């Protein structure tokens, strides 16, 4: 939804924009193109591998962009260090990049045999997915799969994990997939989505504290926007989208943000055909302080 993001941000030629999840630089590249010749971009990502790809992709824009290895919740400090007080637009494109899913080797995909790490920043000192699976109590695992994966069979899966880990620690994606298969009823193994989808989602969200970061970020982002500045957020599952929707509504009630999208913008069928990962994307855009310029 690159075109929709650029339209949502209303890119101008002499303003500063932030891409808080720069990934492989797709959105950043389009923002820099649409804000030529003098627009600036500050790009952040937690994943150093993503920043390398983005830096290479954006090199033609030379001095118009700066990239930082950082969580988007550190944006205030990053902007202060760049001596930038306010920006004209901020975008977050949440979730995983294709590179993380297919090439990182960190256990994000249940279709590959990898170690269950799942940290977006491999140097962050937080428990990995394997550490969670091997140390959480059965009720804690049940709650995690239920709350962050909305997994119907949470209790059975947690039980199976706790029994299995008494014999061998759970360290790989294939071990976890097999335990999930064993735990759920045979009918549930043949559903529309892969039976491991929700547990993998729950673990990734927990490891990276994704909901807490997003919740903290939205008011911070609004405080860093100039009047009339835009905030655009793409969410990929209902837990994220609910946070964006509710926070935008709360900020609107207090006059801090006006929603430009009452209903989220979703990708066109052509985009979904081209990139099936985009099928669940929902974009919401708000403008600071009720002024739509």
Ligand X SMILES: C[S@@+](CC[C@H](N)C(=O)[O-])C[C@H]1O[C@@H](n2cnc3c(N)ncnc32)[C@H](O)[C@@H]1O
Where along the sequence are the contacts to ligand X (CB under 6 A)? Answer: 20-21, 23-27, 44-47, 50, 71-72, 93, 95-97, 120, 213
> Nearest approach, Cβ of 190 to ligand X (angstroms)?
29
CB-wise, 95 or 195, nearer to ligand X?
Answer: 95
Specify the residue, 116 or 120, whose C-beta has the smaller distance to ligand X.
Answer: 120
CB of 289 to ligand X, least distance (A): 25
Q: Would you call the peptide bond into 41 cis, given omega within 30 degrees of 0 as the criterion?
A: no
- Name the strand (E) or helix (H) holding 283: strand 282-288
Give min distance, CB of 20 to ligand X, in A: 6
Q: How far is CA 117 from the centre of its chain?
A: 17
Task: Give yes or no for a contact between 259 and 241, defined as CB atoms under 8 angstroms apart.
Answer: no
Q: What is the DSSP letter of 165?
A: T
Nearby residues of 176 by Cβ (< 8 Å), 6 or more positions away: 110, 116, 133, 161, 170, 196, 199, 200
CB of 8 to ligand X, least distance (A): 13
> In the complex, what is the shortest distance from the CB of residue 23 to ligand X, in angstroms, rounded to a whole number?
3
Residue with smaller CB distance to ligand X, 189 or 279: 279
DSSP 8-state class, residue 10: T
In this structure, how many other beta carbons lie within 10 angstroms of the beta carbon of residue 182? Answer: 13
Task: State which residue, 141 or 210, has the beta carbon closest to ligand X.
Answer: 210
Q: Are 57 and 195 in contact (CB under 8 A)?
A: no
Q: CB-wise, 27 or 237, nearer to ligand X?
A: 27
Residue 78 bridge partners (DSSP): none
| Residue whose pair of structure tokens reads 């591998």 in the numeric block | 49
- To the nearest whole angstrom, how small is the minimum distance from the Cβ of residue 21 to ligand X? 3
- 92 or 141: CB nearest ligand X: 92
């Amino acid at each position: 939804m690159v075109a929709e993001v650029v339209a949502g941000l209303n890119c101008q030629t002499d303003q500063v924009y932030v891409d808080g999840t720069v990934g492989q630089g797709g959105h950043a590249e389009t923002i820099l193109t649409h804000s030529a010749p003098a627009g600036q971009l500050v790009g952040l990502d937690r994943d150093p591998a993503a920043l390398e790809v983005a830096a290479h992709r954006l090199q033609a824009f030379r001095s118009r962009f700066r990239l930082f290895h950082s969580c988007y919740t550190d944006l205030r400090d990053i902007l202060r260090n760049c001596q930038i007080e306010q920006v004209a637009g901020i975008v977050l494109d949440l979730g995983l990049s294709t590179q993380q899913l297919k090439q990182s080797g960190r256990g994000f995909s249940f279709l590959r045999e990898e170690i269950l790490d799942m940290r977006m920043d491999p140097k962050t000192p937080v428990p990995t997915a394997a550490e969670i699976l091997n140390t959480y109590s059965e009720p804690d695992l049940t709650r995690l799969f239920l709350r962050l994966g909305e997994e119907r069979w949470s209790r059975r899966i947690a039980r199976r994990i706790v029994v299995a880990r008494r014999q061998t620690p759970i360290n790989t994606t294939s071990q976890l997939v097999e335990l999930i298969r064993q735990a759920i009823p045979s009918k549930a193994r043949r559903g529309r989505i892969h039976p491991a989808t929700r547990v993998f989602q729950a673990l990734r969200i927990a490891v990276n504290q994704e909901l807490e970061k997003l919740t903290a970020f939205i008011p911070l982002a609004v405080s860093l926007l100039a009047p009339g500045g835009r905030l655009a957020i793409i969410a990929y599952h209902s837990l994220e989208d609910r946070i964006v929707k509710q926070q935008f509504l709360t900020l609107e009630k207090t006059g801090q943000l006006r929603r430009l999208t009452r209903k989220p913008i979703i990708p066109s069928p052509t985009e979904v055909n081209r990139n099936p990962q985009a099928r669940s994307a929902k974009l919401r855009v708000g403008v600071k302080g009720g002024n739509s310029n």
